[in-house]
Structures are given as structure tokens and as C-alpha cells.
Structure 1
């Protein structure tokens, strides 16, 4: 069985009793994994943000510019 975390109700839902998919994170293979979804999602987002910052700094160094200046296409 799979489990989902409902971001609206903050409840874990089994696969056969899920709410609207727009409100769900998952699927997860256990209730405990689903219960930890907000923490694991936040950790992944933080890691992706850090990776984006690192790439931006590397690109800026390669182009001899300040990493806070907009790059190609203004990003």
C-alpha cells in the first residue's frame, strides 16, 4: 500500500482514501515516510536552492562578473 501526505489537512492518507491530488505529496511506501513529507520536501528544496546558488556563482566566475548581477536573459 502507498501513503500520501495532504498539505491542506496535514494528515497522512492511505492510497485507497486519498483527497484531491493537488493537495497531496507522495506516494510514500510507509505512513512514517508520508508523515515526514514536509521535512523531507523542505530539505530537498533547500538542497536544490543551494545547488542553484552554487551554479550561479560558478557561471559568474566563468564570465568574470558578480554573481548577484543578472546573467544571460536577466536571470
Structure 2
């Protein structure tokens, strides 16, 4: 865990990039290897959330046009 203290984090509350454990873990996203990567955290989080939602929708059969009993919706 000591290696993470040398990495960069994005503070979700302040929007600032931090090095090491400056703020509580609940406020941090990361770790990232560079400050530039940490600064992109909101974009990365959005991209991953969208991809996860799309994966879940495919797995659940959302938007397939059929109901659970096999009929058309």
C-alpha cells in the first residue's frame, strides 16, 4: 500500500489532483500514475459507468423488445 502514497489521486469533492493520501479515501478516485491521468478521472469514471451500464443492459436483455414471458412489449 505504500506505493499508492506516491501516486496521484483525484479529489471528488474539490476537483483537485493530489499526490498521496491528502484527503479521506471516500473523497478520492485513483490511484493514477501521473497527475494528467488523475485530472481525467471524471471523464474516465463517466466512460466506465456508461460501458458498465451497456454491459448490464445486454446481459439483462434490456431493449430486446420482448417481455420476461417471451412476448412482445
Range of TM-score over shorter length:
0.7 to 0.9
Pick from 11, 15, 18 the counterpart of residue 10 of structure 1: 15
Counterpart secondary structure, 1:22: helix
How many Å apart are 1:65 and its aligned residue?
A: 2.9
4+ runs deviating over 4 angstroms: none
Counterpart secondary structure, 2:70: coil
Distance in 1 between residues matched to 2:34 and 2:52, nearest whole Å: 25
Partner of 2:26: 22
How many Å apart are 1:50 and its aligned residue?
A: 0.1
Counterpart secondary structure, 2:43: helix
Structure 1 unmatched runs, 5+? 69-75
Structure 2 unmatched runs, 5+? 1-5
Q: TM-score w.r.t. structure 2 length?
A: 0.76
Partner of 2:3: none
* Structure number with higher helix proportion: 1
Partner of 1:71: none
Alpha-carbon RMSD across the aligned residues, in angstroms, is: 2.2
